Amino acid sequence: MDKNLKRMATMHRMQVKGLELFYQNGYYNTSVDDILKSLSLSKGAFYHHFQSKEDFFISIIQNLIVQKVYAVLIEPVEKCDNPFRAIESCFENALETAEHNNMDFGFILSNFMTEFNRRNPEISKYLKDIYKVWEVNLVSIFQKAKTDGYLERHVDSEAVATYLISSYIGIRTLMVEGNCKALRYQYMQQLKAYFKSIEQSNLVS
Amino acid sequence: MDKNLKRMATMHRMQVKGLELFYQNGYYNTSVDDILKSLSLSKGAFYHHFQSKEDFFISIIQNLIVQKVYAVLIEPVEKCDNPFRAIESCFENALETAEHNNMDFGFILSNFMTEFNRRNPEISKYLKDIYKVWEVNLVSIFQKAKTDGYLERHVDSEAVATYLISSYIGIRTLMVEGNCKALRYQYMQQLKAYFKSIEQSNLVS
DNA sequence: CTTTTTACCGACCAAGTGGTCGGTTGGGTG
DNA sequence: CACCCAACCGACCACTTGGTCGGTAAAAAG
């Protein structure tokens, strides 16, 4: 039984380091050897646990990236009452983390979506599914917000979700070039201005 | 003197095809041989005209990408009177072009910015400069809009520019995954809602 | 007509790439 | 104790990469 634990531990180490390097240097620009060297493991170990580099990356998506997106962007938004305040603080936190985390190279999902687009449809599919979950989650939150009297009824929930996701992907892309603090401040300021234009003004409080 | 013309023509052919393939497959995932093969040219020809793959790409940035961004995103906005309507129709056009162009792989600038980030600081610099020009241009347009009575005076011009650029980068990233038409519609709709929240309501017309 | 310069050719190179495979080792089980 | 099998090793393979270099043909210069 101890064997199985060791197996899981080794695979997890590889996945964590793999994500780190893929995120940092890109998938195609990171070799399996790079990952193995920084873990002092051998080719044999890698191909014993994973079928191929592609299979390895898919396991990273399923085991690490999905959880990251859930933890940072989906769960924090669900529990709050006023969805706009919830999204604001969620984005504020996420951007602040990105800003202070010196190992940050942009929004993990959009980086990989860009890299795999038209080059590896299978992986693209996995990534698109994660973004889809995020989108659906936002849409249902906005639907509920209409019921709760936070969002004007005539507003298109899906359009708001799309616009939100777009701006988030974009600001994260811009932040990798530095000047993060100013960008975050400017972004949050205008996000609030945007929300004001679609928020229900007469609250039934 | 004919020689110089031929030189320019060959270099230009290489640059155009190079941009096409780099855009499609990424810089690191496109080999010099790929480009040469599709042009029926040889290694010798390539390294006779360009010092290296990197030097080649920089020449593509300076000769092709800069002009593209100017033509699509900067010039169309400058000439119009009401800046909000100008930006709306500029973005609408740009997104429609992207949509109907089945060879669309996202916003060329943000794609490459993502790919070269932390991997090649020199090229990152060139790309960042282009985006900087776009930003400065937008900011000065918003400053003028305040004078002309289109934009509320208390609004932070730089923040608006940042928010605009973010959302554009993001929507272009999303559009590569398909469903472009709906995304474009949703985006433009919410962009207008956002503009409404910062536009001067009492026009001195 | 000779000489020089230019555009271009393509075999070649060292350094990687993803992936294979025969082997070693050490804990778990009979 | 013997045996098995999973975990791991690392030399090796075919192939691709960016880049070099000696050569050629033809246009321009003398």
Q: What is the pLDDT of residues A171-205, one digit of tens each?
A: 999 998 888 999 999 999 999 999 999 998 755 44
Would the CB atoms of B124 and A160 count as touching at under 8 Å?
A: no
Task: For chain B, give percent helix, strand, coil, nearest 5.
Answer: 75, 0, 20
User: How far off is chain B from A3, nearest CA to CA, in Å?
Assistant: 39
The pLDDT tens digits of the residues spanning B76-122 come to 998 878 999 999 999 999 999 998 876 567 799 999 999 999 899 99
Enumerate residues 6+ apart whose C-beta is below 8 A from A124: A113, A116, A117, A118, B177
The per-type count for chain A, helices as H runs and strands as E runs, is 11, 0
Q: Is the pLDDT of residue B203 over 60?
A: no
Residue A118 forms beta bridges with which residues? none
For position B205, what pLDDT does the model report? Answer: 45
A45 touches strand D (CB under 7 A): yes
Domains detected in chain A:
1-50 (1.10.10), 59-198 (1.10.357.10)
B7 touches strand C (CB under 7 A): yes
Would the CB atoms of B156 and A189 count as touching at under 8 Å?
A: yes
Instruction: From the CA of A1 to the C1' of C30: give the distance in Å.
Output: 17
A45 touches strand C (CB under 7 A): no
Instruction: From the CA of B65 to the C1' of C18: give the distance in Å.
Output: 33
For position A205, what pLDDT does the model report? Answer: 45
Helix (H) or strand (E) holding B190: helix B180-198
| A118: DSSP letter | T
Instruction: From the CA of B32 to the C1' of C22: give the distance in Å.
Output: 38
Instruction: From the CA of A48 to the C1' of D3: give the distance in Å.
Output: 22
Q: Is the pLDDT of residue B156 over 80?
A: yes
Would the CB atoms of B166 and A187 count as touching at under 8 Å?
A: yes
Check: CB of residue A105 under 8 Å from CB of residue A115. no
B42 touches strand C (CB under 7 A): yes
Chain D positions within 7 A of any protein Cβ atom are 6-12, 16-23, 27-29
Dist CA A35 CA A92 (whole Å): 32
Q: What is the largest CA-CA distance in chain B?
A: 65
B126-149 average pLDDT score: 96
Dist CA A15 CA A10 (whole Å): 9
Helices A83-100 and A180-198 cross at an angle (nearest 10°) of 170
B54 touches strand D (CB under 7 A): yes
- A163: three-class secondary structure by DSSP: helix
Dist CA B3 CA B43 (whole Å): 19
- B80: three-class secondary structure by DSSP: coil
User: How far off is chain A from B46, nearest CA to CA, in Å?
Assistant: 23
Dist CA A35 CA A42 (whole Å): 10
Altogether, the residues listed in chain B come to a count of 205
